[in-house]
């Protein structure tokens, strides 16, 4: 038979009562402070984990954006380089033909002996050149710069009898230097590329006059300067926009000019009599270009061979670049990053709740 010592039973009862009292008593002030500190630490760690994931997403976006902008700049550079090469080729296309024209005997004959028959013969040559090469006009000037013969002699804006001695292409050619000149016609009011060459006598000892052919720039605008969101410009050394894919910008000033340069431009008559309105574009030392609304543009330019100071320029609105960058990001990459952030947030929340539970029970029972 099993017997119990009354003292042992009493001691056991006291132990159970003490344990129950320990379990049921409220945490002390030190326990509460410890619990709060641990909770704050877990909250901070959870927030840090979420912010780290967000920062990673932002870092990826800005890395993607930087790479996309660099690719856009490289593409703009390549396209403009190709366009400049094509333009340079076109502008040099009629240098040899005008030299050939100047050497034809019918032109020399009319300059030495001007009569109805010699004029007729010279006009036939000019007509054939103009038609064969698809030129705007071909003409012949004497030593004084007066037009003797022209392929547009029957037009209302005929060059016959006109004095073009003020034109640089005449001045250079009459002094023995072939020239190329871009300008707005004073008579035709049409833009063109003028090619001139001295007409020598048979001995090549003296200059009798100047042969000139004029090619239109419409081909360049139609076939090379295509319509696009980018602004394409072909400007002279003073910033006059000679060719553009934006009709409203023609014969305007890309950059603001001083009064002295404006007077020089007016006196040259190269682009008519003006006025030439400033477009509002400006450029700082870092080559950052902005318009009058303070909108920033990606600026790319190339010099044109054999045309000192002339440049082809591409301007692209940075807002348009941002749109092109953000579209694929929002459509493809954006949802992936957003999903990762949401999952990270949910995971952090679950870990936070588990951590609080793990801390709460031991803190309460300690």
Provide the pLDDT for residue 146. Answer: 97
Domains in the chain: ranges and CATH: 95-216 (3.30.450.20)
Q: Please write the tens of the pLDDT for every residue from 336-358.
A: 666 766 776 676 667 666 666 66
Average pLDDT over residues 31-40: 61
pLDDT surpassing 90 at residue 134: yes
Centroid of chain to Cα 14: 90
pLDDT surpassing 70 at residue 226: yes
Average pLDDT over residues 17-23: 51
Percent of residues, the chain, with pLDDT higher than 70: 74
Least confident of 22-31, 240-249, 255-264: 22-31
Q: Is the bond into 275 cis (omega within 30 degrees of 0)?
A: yes
* Separation CA 354–CA 45 (nearest Å): 13
Provide the pLDDT for residue 318. Answer: 82
Q: Please write the tens of the pLDDT for every residue from 298-325.
A: 899 999 988 999 999 999 888 877 776 6
Give the count of alpha carbons within 13 A of 126, CB side only: 28
Terminal-to-terminal C-alpha distance of the chain: 41
The backbone torsions φ and ψ at residue 25, rounded to the nearest 5 degrees and listed phi first, read -75, 150
Higher pLDDT, residue 254 or 49: 254
Give the count of alpha carbons within 13 A of 225, CB side only: 23
* Separation CA 72–CA 298 (nearest Å): 9
Q: Which positions ≥6 away from 137 have C-beta within 8 Å?
A: 130, 150, 151, 152, 159, 188, 213, 214
Average pLDDT over residues 262-287: 89
Average pLDDT, the chain: 82
């Amino acid at each position: 038979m099993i017997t119990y010592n009354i003292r042992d039973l009493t001691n056991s009862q006291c132990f159970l009562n003490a344990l129950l009292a320990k379990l049921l008593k409220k945490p002390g002030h030190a326990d509460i402070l410890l619990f709060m500190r641990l909770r704050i630490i877990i909250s901070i760690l959870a927030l840090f984990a979420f912010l780290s994931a967000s920062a990673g997403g932002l870092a990826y976006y800005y890395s993607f954006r930087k790479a996309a902008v660099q690719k856009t700049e490289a593409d703009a550079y390549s396209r403009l380089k190709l366009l400049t090469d094509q333009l340079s080729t076109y502008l040099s296309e009629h240098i040899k033909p005008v030299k050939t024209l100047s050497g034809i005997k019918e032109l020399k004959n009319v300059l030495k002996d001007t009569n109805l028959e010699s004029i007729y013969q010279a006009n036939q040559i000019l007509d054939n050149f103009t038609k064969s090469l698809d030129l705007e006009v071909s003409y012949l000037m004497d030593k004084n710069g007066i037009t003797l013969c022209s392929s547009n002699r029957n037009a209302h804006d005929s060059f016959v009898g006109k004095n073009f001695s003020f034109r640089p292409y005449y001045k250079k050619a009459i002094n023995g230097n072939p020239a190329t000149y871009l300008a707005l016609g004073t008579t035709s009011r049409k833009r063109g590329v003028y090619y001139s060459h001295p007409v020598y006598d048979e001995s090549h000892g003296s200059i009798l006059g100047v042969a000139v052919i004029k090619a239109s720039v419409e081909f360049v605008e139609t076939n090379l300067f295509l319509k696009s969101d980018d602004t394409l410009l072909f400007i002279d050394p003073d910033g006059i926009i000679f060719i553009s894919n934006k009709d409203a910008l023609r014969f305007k000033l890309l950059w603001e000019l001083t009064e002295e340069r404006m007077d020089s431009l007016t006196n040259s008559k190269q682009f008519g009599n003006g006025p030439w309105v400033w477009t509002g574009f400006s450029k700082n030392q870092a080559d950052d270009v902005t318009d009058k609304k303070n909108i920033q543009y990606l600026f790319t330019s190339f010099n044109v061979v054999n045309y000192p100071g002339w440049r082809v320029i591409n301007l692209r609105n940075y807002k348009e670049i941002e749109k092109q960058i953000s579209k694929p990001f929002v459509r493809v990459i954006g949802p992936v990053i957003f999903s990762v952030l949401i999952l990270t947030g949910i995971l952090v929340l679950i870990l936070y709740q588990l951590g609080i539970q793990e801390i709460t029970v031991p803190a309460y029972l300690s």
